[in-house]
Amino acid sequence: MRNPMVQPLKACLVMALALIVMSASAENPPMPPERPAAFRLRAGMPAATPSPSASALVPEKGYCLAMLARLGIEAAPAVQDPNARPQCQIREPVRLSSIRSKARGGGLIRLPDNPLLACAFASAFGEWIGSTAAPLLEARLGSPLAEIRTGPGYDCRTINRSASGKTSAHATGEAIDMDRFTLADGRVFLVGTAGEAADALAAMRRSGCGWFTTVLGPGADPAHASHIHVDVMRHGKSGSYRICQ
Ligand SMILES: [Zn+2]
């Protein structure tokens, strides 16, 4: 014979279990994995435990250099010229010396000119070279990229050195020029010269248009006949369009 109390008892037990589970969930709701502090700061989100030196919008001192190191970009802190004009100030100046290639052949890409750059720009340049430009050149030319000649990077001047004109992105360390590429097998390619690397360098140059706001090179104008220039200058009133020539 069925006990008439069994069904209500079962219902009570089920409800009690549900309440226990719900209260446990409320106290310990499922949380996404903890993000590194660097990501929280970059996304403009407050850190879980704010440190005295960090705010939601200002990255901690040394954050950019630490980010470069994590990306395989070798750089050292540099000193801003104390006499530089106000329009020629570099935000967090660094000197680049090498970039680790993410191509199959891997290896370090030397930057013997040790360009002086703003740290954030150095990060964009290093990431583009390491993850896109070097693998592309290696795939097209059959040997890892070993060296890029860049010139000094920072240069307090106007665009194309015109007597009166807009300040160049070089003046804030947010531009760089490349005129000579050396592969691990010893082959050397100069920008603007015909030869086996011309197509590969043109493809590399086009890939830069996805990373920078300005990409110029041979054919764009006489000032860029023998080097590729990339920068992150904002163009136009909205600052939203890009120059890719
Ligand atoms: Zn330039």
Q: Ligand 1 centroid to 77 CA: how many Å?
A: 22
Nearest-CA neighbor of 100 among 121, 75, 79? 75
Q: Ligand 1 centroid to 161 CA: how many Å?
A: 10
Give me the pLDDT at residue 105, please. 78
Give me the pLDDT at residue 31, please. 56
User: pLDDT for 126-151, tens place per residue?
Assistant: 999 999 999 999 999 999 999 999 99
Nearest-CA neighbor of 178 among 159, 139, 204? 204
Give me the pLDDT at residue 110, please. 98
Give me the pLDDT at residue 62, please. 85
User: pLDDT for 172-183, tens place per residue?
Assistant: 999 999 999 999
User: pLDDT for 81-102, tens place per residue?
Assistant: 888 888 899 999 999 999 999 9
Q: Ligand 1 centroid to 160 CA: how many Å?
A: 8
Give me the pLDDT at residue 135, please. 97
Nearest-CA neighbor of 113 among 43, 180, 161, 166? 180
Q: Ligand 1 centroid to 230 CA: how many Å?
A: 7
Give me the pLDDT at residue 46, please. 41
**Distance in angstroms (rounded) separating the CA atoms of residues 231 and 175:** 4
Give me the pLDDT at residue 231, please. 96
Q: Ligand 1 centroid to 208 CA: how many Å?
A: 14
List the chain residues with pLDDT less than 70.
1-60
Give me the pLDDT at residue 41, please. 38
Q: What residues have a C-beta under 5 A from ligand 1, the ion?
A: 177, 229
Give me the pLDDT at residue 201, please. 96
